[in-house]
């Protein structure tokens, strides 16, 4: 009963925090894009899928990638690490994961490597005040004083915790500003990385433009996200390339890749059974293996060295 009440309270607060409609989009200024979206091909790249608040699973897959040592320090040298979003929700270790990747990005840069973390649908859900997938501890982290067993706490305490988290993640809030340093889409060498998938209309719109406008929204500089970002065919929600792709899906993929000047796409978002999978003659790779405690999947990642793509699996 307590968990039901907790869920109801969270849902009520969510309903009150939607983005106001009727906002007017600012016209695009094609010559003023200042967000880096494209990066040169590295010697070695490893891509990691959804982490969902599980620090131990995160550590395991980063060690599998050769990115960190037993003390969580960067040992990847010039490795480029890409994490395709959904660090938030479902698990209790979100702050630790966010902090870890921020630190690793600095350490990697100092060693000649790089860490690119993308925003997924769960990051944007939190920014929009949709916190239905947050664990009780994920709310308690934002209270001034820790409250053990928040799911059984008085309604006023639960509501205060939910509102505190929503405030932190709302556009312009401290956590939204942190997410504003991240892209939605990154192109590294000839590979496109995105949480859900880039369809042709998004490629035509411009992934550089989408990255910039998304960051502007996260910083509180525009009233609502760009229209193409959060729809069912948007880059963080699309599942066109994530399941059993048919001929029509592969045509969409080929068109999007041609517009982007790329050879393959790497996506997360949709849990694959047992291991990383591919589709459309290996032009799309799906790296969400459900490795967090919530799903119980294996530790697995994708390695790209030159033109060679290899699945990394835990022994």
Residues annotated as catalytic are: 122
Residue 275 burial (10 A CB sphere; 0-12, 13-18, 19+): middle
Centroid of chain to Cα 180 = 12
Q: How far apart are CA 128 and CA 24, in angstroms?
A: 18
Angle at 237 between CA 243 and CA 286, to 5 degrees: 40
Note whether 181 and 219 are within 8 A (CB): no
- Radius of gyration, CA atoms only, the chain: 19
* Number of residues written out for the chain: 315
Note whether 74 and 114 are within 8 A (CB): no
Indicate the SS3 state at residue 160.
helix
How far lies 126's CA from each of 53, 152, 173, 313, in Å? 13, 22, 11, 31
Q: How is 78-139 classified by DSSP, letter by letter?
A: T-EEEE-S--SSSSS-HHHHHHHHHHHHHHHHHTT-EEEEB--HHHHHHHTT--TT--HHHH
Q: How far apart are CA 207 and CA 264, in angstroms?
A: 15
Indicate the SS3 state at residue 189.
coil
Q: How far apart are CA 93 and CA 133, in angstroms?
A: 14
């Amino acid at each position: 009963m307590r968990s039901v009440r907790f869920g109801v309270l969270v849902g009520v607060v969510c309903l009150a925090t939607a983005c106001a409609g009727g906002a007017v989009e600012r016209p695009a200024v094609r010559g003023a894009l200042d967000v880096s979206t494209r990066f040169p091909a590295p010697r070695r790249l490893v891509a990691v899928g959804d982490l969902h608040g599980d620090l131990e699973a995160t550590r395991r897959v980063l060690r599998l990638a050769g990115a960190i040592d037993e003390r969580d320090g960067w040992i990847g040298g010039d490795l480029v690490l890409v994490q395709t979003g959904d660090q938030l929700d479902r698990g209790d270790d979100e702050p630790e994961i966010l902090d870890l990747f921020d630190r690793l990005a600095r350490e990697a840069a100092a060693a000649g490597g790089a860490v690119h973390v993308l925003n997924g649908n769960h990051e944007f859900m939190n920014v929009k005040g949709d916190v239905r997938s947050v664990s009780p501890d994920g709310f308690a982290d934002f209270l001034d004083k820790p409250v053990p067993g928040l799911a059984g706490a008085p309604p006023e305490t639960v509501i205060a915790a939910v509102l505190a988290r929503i405030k932190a993640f709302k556009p312009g809030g401290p956590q939204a500003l942190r997410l504003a340093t991240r892209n939605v889409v990154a192109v590294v060498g000839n590979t496109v990385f995105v949480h859900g998938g880039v369809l042709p209309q998004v490629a035509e719109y411009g992934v550089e433009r989408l990255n910039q406008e998304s960051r502007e929204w996260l910083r509180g500089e525009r009233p609502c996200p760009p229209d193409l970002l959060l729809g069912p065919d948007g880059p963080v929600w699309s599942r066109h390339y994530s399941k059993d792709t048919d001929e029509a899906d592969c045509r969409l993929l080929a068109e999007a890749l041609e517009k982007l000047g790329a050879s393959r796409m790497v996506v997360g978002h949709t849990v694959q059974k047992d291991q990383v999978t591919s589709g459309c003659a290996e032009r799309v790779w799906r790296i969400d293996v459900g490795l967090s405690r919530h799903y119980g999947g294996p530790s697995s990642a994708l390695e790209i060295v030159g033109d060679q793509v290899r699945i990394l699996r835990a022994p």
